[in-house]
Chain A
Amino acid sequence: MSVTTNTIALDIRRLSRVIPRNRNIELALLAFAFGINAYELAQIQLSTIQIYNADILTYWLPITLGALAIHLVLRWRASEADALMLPAVVLLNGLGIAEIYRLDLARLANHSTDLFAGKQIVWSCVAMAAAIAVIVFVPTHLFLRRYVYISMFIGLALLISPMLPVIGKTINGAHLWLAIGSLTFQPGELAKIALTVFFAGYLVTRRDSLAVVGRRFLGVQLPRARELGPILAIWAISLLVLVGERDLGTSLLYFGLFLVMIYVATGRPIYVVVGLGLFLTSAVVAARLMTYVSGRVDAWLNPFDSAHYDAIGGSYQLVQGIFGLAHGSVLGSGLGGGVPQLVPLAESDFIIASLGEELGLVGMFAILAIYLLIIARGARIAFQHSDDFSKLLAIGLSFVIALQSFIVIGGVTRVVPLTGLTTPFLAAGGSSLLANWIIVGLLLRISNTSGTHVEVEE
């Protein structure tokens, strides 16, 4: 089946159908999300400053208009795109802005002028514009396949750039930032998209040779030695990230992404086994040799130990975050009712602890459920596509959101050691918002063809 038949079928459908059903569902769900977002802001104002003012509009209207713009663009360019993803993401983005605004109010009460909600609004608009650009300018799901190797170079360049002198910047001990003037940027966030595109394109072309059965050893079919090249290369890069950027989470994110994609492409679990073995070995060695890794691991295992709690860069932040979550209990203190500002970086790395404190376990489950919904819709796109490149791209992009959420939230709730990744869509930070909205744009774009395709096959 060729691309042209697909496109023609799509055009016929678009003409023959006056009302795009998906888009109407999306609009209804968006209205719901807008309502929730407004309610959050109103509740925050009532419980902190006890009056309503125009700030509600400032923090509500931009992403509402942005989401409506995306909705209209989808009607125009991708009317069969997934209907649930956009409202779910808008819900998270709005919740993040509300909590960041709430933390700003706490800062204002302390006479601090270091505020984040305004920047978050601006970045949300930029990110949504980027998502629109993706939907408009990426004409089909196969378009990106032309840029596989360019993606590789872009991805690697972005990944390595923070290690460069002059523009590289160290924040909280991790070399994850680029600084140009007063603007800081985490290029690793965008690198994950470029690398996913590259992995998808590379693995689609090499999957047959990668899947060839090698020698059997102890009942296990080993891959051929030369096919281990790519996995070793990616392992080396993730090690470089670990050592050069001093961040276990970023390193784990790329490596985990690659393992999942090579497994999906080849169907050979041995790659996962070998890869995890390599990664764990290097992590254990790093924990021995590099104090910042061992410090993180110790703080993770015994955070309440006063030795770790009082140490500089120790478990103070983790423990305060856990206190916040515990204080939230089942129902939470209500938005604006807790004291999440006690936790360092409450608006970025620890926003999930802030939300867990104020929304309780109920809110925590709801947030996790929204993430699962977004990821499930992404996985569904992968299932429905018959084209392997799109399948790999969709599962890769979905998995990157899943793994990143897991590493961050798991770090805050002590499932894994704490690392410096951002919580997708929620945390304050432009690069993260931009990257994740681009992922949403890509998934929406891919989903537009997947739905159609199923019907064409019938």
Chain B
Amino acid sequence: MNRELKRVVYVIVAMFVALFISSSTIQVITADSLASDPRNVRAVYDSYKTQRGAILVAGNPIAESVHSDDNFHYARTYSSEIYSAVTGFFSFFQGATGMESSMNSYLTGKSSSQFFEQVNALLSGNPLTGASVELTIDPKVQQVAWDALGKLQGAVVAIDPSTGKILAMVSKPGYDANALATHDGTSSAAAYAKLLADKNSPLVNKAISGTLYAPGSVFKIVVASAAFESGQYTPDSTLPNPPKYKLPGTNTWITNSGEGKCGGQPTVSIATALMLSCNIPFAQLGVLLGQDAIRAQAQKYGFGRSVDIPLHSTPSTYPTGMDDSQTALSSFGQFDDRVTPLQIAMISATVANAGVEMKPNLVSNVQSANLASLWSPQPEQYANPISAQTASWLKQMMINAVAHGVSSNGAIPGVTVAGKTGTAQNGTSAPYTLWFTGFAPAEKPRVAVAVVIENGGGIGQAGRGNSLAAPVARKVMEAVLGK
């Protein structure tokens, strides 16, 4: 009979092995995906049990949890609307966005680096306290960027080119995160519905996401990069300079913007074309280079890739499968080119940093409740999209664009500013998208900036990048340089 007993024991062991496997599967292997199921409210409940860490800028909280007397124990409060794009919101009813979402595991104390604190809390029964997150944002620059945009809609990103630290990130219109974080479900839902219905998309961080923008002439930096990197062109290489240009294979004619002469000579150098932001030479250059070369260069800069700063950015895109006429349009930032202000700022920062692209980053330090530093990201090279020679040529061309060209409103007295404007069309009658990107001081860059203004700045097709976006960028750069 013992032989049979032994076999029964094997069966019992097999049954329990099945239970060991099933519980491991649920509790470890699929735990993360189960936690993100919208029907699972535990993560949200959880986050209110611990004192969530603060989000700090220069030592001052821009989002913090304070004691409240209701069932939630803690209320989340936000200092100012100017940070809404960065912090996002944290709401019992609406979930979390922005840094509140990206840094959630640190803020709640659940990250793997807080393992020993978790064990400690577990054994003592004391609630866990979240870590605080210190940002790289410079509050002065952030405020200037916010004020400079004024009533305009759009976004500003300012980066330290040598480290990738993000000094300012503004998206307009912003919103009051306190209205969403309230513990009154009805009023939170009402505020959320109102923000969601707003056609100016206040809940979207336009600096890194949303529907993205046509880059217009700022994309010429990418095309010029591709030309120089091919080894077949220098800034002095010339291109035909007709007053109007028929798109290959079509009957559509394009012109340069403004009076459209682009120097008025039969040929024009790439340097001059960028300085005066002429479309026709770049359209021809794009066709000569081919869409594949431009796309490859764009991808080296980061197109097609999302970067976590640790906010998750939407990848910028350069179209595929174009014919020559479409390639021509795409070469001055039209057709289906779509970019984030972050990507454009990264391109300027790369030019500023001698061709080395640093990984953009918003976090300067994560500190646990017992003051231990859990994570302080070090500057990290993201890519090396262009050579130092190419960077140096582009820098000189962008300096000229501000000093002598059509990007003149980026100029700061006493400082060499490099820059490029853009004025992108969105169909025949829609208002333009206005751009400025650049860096300063050109000799030893401390800030690279990208400014986008939506909806023509409210003045239809009369707005230009140089008239509306460049002054905003100038003020932001001045703020960094202490002017």
> Can you list 19 residue pairs at the A/B interface with Cβ under 8 Å?
A46-B126, A309-B39, A319-B39, A323-B39, A326-B31, A330-B27, A331-B119, A334-B122, A337-B122, A338-B42, A342-B41, A364-B23, A368-B16, A372-B16, A379-B8, A382-B5, A399-B8, A402-B16, A406-B16
Kindly state whether residue A263 has any CB partner on chain B within 8 Å. Answer: yes
- Taking A264-B5, A327-B46 as known contacts, 17 extra A-B pairs with beta carbons closer than 8 A to each other, sorted by chain A number, are A42-B125, A43-B125, A47-B126, A263-B4, A309-B39, A323-B42, A326-B27, A326-B30, A330-B27, A331-B122, A334-B122, A338-B42, A342-B41, A360-B27, A388-B1, A402-B12, A406-B15
Kindly state whether residue A332 has any CB partner on chain B within 8 Å. Answer: yes
Q: Which residues of B contact A371 (CB under 8 A)?
A: 16
Are B5 and A356 closer than 8 Å at their CB atoms?
Answer: no
Most buried by B among A379, A383, A413: A413
Contacting residues of chain A (394-450) with chain B, CB-CB under 8 angstroms: 395, 398-399, 402-403, 405-406, 409-410, 413-415
Q: Which residues of B contact A379 (CB under 8 A)?
A: 5, 8-9, 12
Contacting residues of chain A (325-371) with chain B, CB-CB under 8 angstroms: 325-339, 342, 356, 360-361, 364-365, 368, 371
Kindly state whether residue B67 has any CB partner on chain A within 8 Å. Answer: no
Q: How far is the CA of A246 from the CA of B35 in the complex (A)?
A: 33
A409's contact among B1, B7, B19, B126, by CB below 8 Å, is which?
A: B19
Are A46 and B1 closer than 8 Å at their CB atoms?
Answer: no
6 closest residue pairs by CB, A with B: A46-B125, A326-B34, A413-B22, A47-B125, A361-B27, A323-B40
Kindly state whether residue A76 has any CB partner on chain B within 8 Å. Answer: no
Q: Which residues of A contact B8 (CB under 8 A)?
A: 260, 263-264, 379, 395, 399
Kindly state whether residue A118 has any CB partner on chain B within 8 Å. Answer: no
Q: Smallest CB–CB gap between B475 and chain A, Å?
A: 48
Are A327 and B5 closer than 8 Å at their CB atoms?
Answer: no
Q: Which residues of B contact A29 (CB under 8 A)?
A: none
Q: Which residues of B contact A137 (CB under 8 A)?
A: none
Are B27 and A264 closer than 8 Å at their CB atoms?
Answer: no
Q: How far is the CA of A38 from the CA of B7 in the complex (A)?
A: 39
Q: How far is the CA of A395 from the CA of B9 in the complex (A)?
A: 9
Kindly state whether residue B251 has any CB partner on chain A within 8 Å. Answer: no
Chain B residue nearest to A386 in the complex (CB): B1
Q: Smallest CB–CB gap between B17 and chain A, Å?
A: 10
Q: Smallest CB–CB gap between B354 and chain A, Å?
A: 46
Q: State how many residues of chain A have any CB contact under 8 Å with chain B.
A: 59
Chain B residue nearest to A396 in the complex (CB): B8
Q: Smallest CB–CB gap between A70 and chain B, Å?
A: 25
Q: Smallest CB–CB gap between A418 and chain B, Å?
A: 13
Known A267-B3, A413-B23: A334·B42 in contact at CB below 8 Å: no
Kindly state whether residue A391 has any CB partner on chain B within 8 Å. Answer: yes
Are A322 and B34 closer than 8 Å at their CB atoms?
Answer: yes
Kindly state whether residue B121 has any CB partner on chain A within 8 Å. Answer: yes
Specify the main secondary structure of chain B where it touches its partner: helix
Kindly state whether residue B28 has any CB partner on chain A within 8 Å. Answer: yes
Q: How far is the CA of A333 from the CA of B18 in the complex (A)?
A: 24
Q: Smallest CB–CB gap between A315 and chain B, Å?
A: 11
Are B19 and A410 closer than 8 Å at their CB atoms?
Answer: yes
Are B4 and A267 closer than 8 Å at their CB atoms?
Answer: yes
Are A327 and B37 closer than 8 Å at their CB atoms?
Answer: no
Q: How far is the CA of A388 from the CA of B2 in the complex (A)?
A: 10
Contacting residues of chain A (40-62) with chain B, CB-CB under 8 angstroms: 42-44, 46-47
Q: How far is the CA of A410 from the CA of B43 in the complex (A)?
A: 25
Q: How far is the CA of A329 from the CA of B24 in the complex (A)?
A: 9
Q: Which residues of A contact B35 (CB under 8 A)?
A: 323, 326-327
Q: Which residues of A contact B22 (CB under 8 A)?
A: 410, 413-415
Are B125 and A325 closer than 8 Å at their CB atoms?
Answer: no
Q: Which residues of B contact A319 (CB under 8 A)?
A: 39
Are B19 and A413 closer than 8 Å at their CB atoms?
Answer: yes
Kindly state whether residue B253 has any CB partner on chain A within 8 Å. Answer: no
Q: How far is the CA of A292 from the CA of B413 in the complex (A)?
A: 81
Kindly state whether residue A275 has any CB partner on chain B within 8 Å. Answer: no
Kindly state whether residue A135 has any CB partner on chain B within 8 Å. Answer: no
Q: How far is the CA of A265 from the CA of B2 in the complex (A)?
A: 10
Q: How far is the CA of A410 from the CA of B23 in the complex (A)?
A: 9
Q: How far is the CA of A256 from the CA of B22 in the complex (A)?
A: 21
Kindly state whether residue B426 has any CB partner on chain A within 8 Å. Answer: no
Q: Which residues of A contact B3 (CB under 8 A)?
A: 267
Interface string of B123-147 (1 = CB under 8 A from A): 1111100000000000000000000
Are B1 and A391 closer than 8 Å at their CB atoms?
Answer: yes
Q: Smallest CB–CB gap between A47 and chain B, Å?
A: 4
Known A323-B39, A330-B28: A368·B5 in contact at CB below 8 Å: no
Are A337 and B34 closer than 8 Å at their CB atoms?
Answer: no
Kindly state whether residue A304 has any CB partner on chain B within 8 Å. Answer: yes
Known A309-B39, A323-B34, A371-B16: A46·B124 in contact at CB below 8 Å: yes
Are A267 and B40 closer than 8 Å at their CB atoms?
Answer: no
Kindly state whether residue A324 has any CB partner on chain B within 8 Å. Answer: yes
Interface string of B358-369 (1 = CB under 8 A from A): 000000000000
Kindly state whether residue A375 has any CB partner on chain B within 8 Å. Answer: yes
Kindly state whether residue B300 has any CB partner on chain A within 8 Å. Answer: no
Are B15 and A402 closer than 8 Å at their CB atoms?
Answer: yes
Q: How far is the CA of A416 from the CA of B144 in the complex (A)?
A: 62
Q: Smallest CB–CB gap between A427 and chain B, Å?
A: 16
Chain B residue nearest to A358 in the complex (CB): B122
Q: Which residues of A contact B387 (CB under 8 A)?
A: none
Q: How far is the CA of A434 from the CA of B387 in the complex (A)?
A: 80
Chain B residue nearest to A324 in the complex (CB): B42
Kindly state whether residue B26 has any CB partner on chain A within 8 Å. Answer: yes
Kindly state whether residue B45 has any CB partner on chain A within 8 Å. Answer: yes
Q: Smallest CB–CB gap between B366 and chain A, Å?
A: 21
Q: How far is the CA of A15 from the CA of B343 in the complex (A)?
A: 89
Q: Smallest CB–CB gap between B33 and chain A, Å?
A: 8
Q: Smallest CB–CB gap between B69 and chain A, Å?
A: 15
Are A383 and B5 closer than 8 Å at their CB atoms?
Answer: yes
Most buried by A among B20, B37, B40, B42: B42
Q: Which residues of B contact A414 (CB under 8 A)?
A: 22, 26
Q: Which residues of B contact A399 (CB under 8 A)?
A: 8, 12
Are A329 and B12 closer than 8 Å at their CB atoms?
Answer: no
Interface string of A218-254 (1 = CB under 8 A from B): 0000000000000000000000000000000000000
Q: How far is the CA of A333 from the CA of B122 in the complex (A)?
A: 7
Chain B residue nearest to A42 in the complex (CB): B125
Kindly state whether residue B118 has any CB partner on chain A within 8 Å. Answer: yes
Interface string of B88-125 (1 = CB under 8 A from A): 00000000000000000000000000000011011111
Chain A residue nearest to B110 in the complex (CB): A329
Most buried by A among B15, B23, B34: B23
Q: Which residues of A contact B24 (CB under 8 A)?
A: 361
Q: Which residues of A contact B7 (CB under 8 A)?
A: 263
Q: Which residues of A contact B124 (CB under 8 A)?
A: 46
Q: Which residues of A contact B15 (CB under 8 A)?
A: 402-403, 406, 410
Chain B residue nearest to A323 in the complex (CB): B40
Known A46-B125, A415-B18: A323·B5 in contact at CB below 8 Å: no
Q: Which residues of B contact A337 (CB under 8 A)?
A: 49, 122, 125
Most buried by A among B3, B12, B123: B12
Chain B residue nearest to A413 in the complex (CB): B22
Contacting residues of chain B (33-80) with chain A, CB-CB under 8 angstroms: 34-35, 37, 39-43, 45-46, 49
